[in-house]
Amino acid sequence: MIKELRDRTGVGMGKCKEALEEAKGDMELAISNLRKAGIASAVKKEGRTTNEGVISTAENAKTVALVEVNAETDFVAKNERFQDFAKNVAAEVATTTPASLDAFKSQKYSKEPGLTIEDYRATIVQTIGENIQLRRLKTFKKDANKSIGVYSHLGGKLVTVVEITGSDKEEALAKDIAMHIAAAAPDYLNEKEVPESVIQNERDIAKSQMKGKPDAVINKILDGKLEAFYNQVCLTRQEYIKDPSQKIMDVINQKAKATGKPLQITGFIRWGVGQ
């Protein structure tokens, strides 16, 4: 836990140990206390992943699909049979668009109708000799008013998807923004999506760092810190990785003006194996 706290906050091992002891092993409370003390600033949402596997993608004329398939070791995750299994189940998800992971597991496998997807998984486990699990899946429906961009990094260890509405001709832009998301790791699309509890927590942390200052000064600084927080965690307000002079919202607005289309980012995901 000390190592995970260090990975997420960049704080020294000694301070991490103290923070965890004070928080009685509560990771999130330890992070909050370190931030209130002004020791930790930027915090990674996730620690290092513990599961191995791959996030497999597939698409057809109607759907883009993602499936995370986990294994016990990275060695098996690179195994050809494991990789084929991941590709096959992703293709099944794209074709059948199941309502849930449980529903998907119980449906028939099209290449061998005598087997369910769960049966198919069991045969792979028997063949490889290591536990293999389907962890999650998601589908994105294509239509004439939407562009979907998919970016896969590190051989499927990290996959991002972006939906842009207003045109079906902006897949290249959507993929560029998906690449940005892989690097910048936003938590929310825009400030409207940030939960009030998260905003209040940021205010509490900022106030803890400004004890003794007049209320008028504190409120002004709070507003500035909240704006900086939005710029860090909200996709539309982040500086574009390929051109830091522009924010993502500027890139979209410029493209909308150039094409005459009402372009908007309406959704994104960022999946890391094991996260």
pLDDT at 222: 86
* Residue-by-residue pLDDT tens, the chain, 275 positions: 888 888 787 777 888 899 899 999 998 888 888 887 777 655 655 444 337 999 999 999 999 999 999 998 889 889 999 999 999 999 999 999 999 999 999 999 999 999 999 999 989 988 888 889 999 999 999 999 999 999 999 999 999 999 999 999 999 999 999 999 999 999 999 999 999 999 998 888 888 877 777 777 777 888 888 999 999 999 999 999 999 999 999 999 999 999 999 999 999 999 999 88
pTM for the whole structure = 0.78
Q: What angle do CA 226, 229, 231 make, to 5 degrees?
A: 115
Q: Do 47 and 8 meet the contact criterion of CB atoms below 8 Å apart?
A: yes
Identify the residue whose tokens are 């704006």: 227
CB 65 within 8 A of CB 138: yes
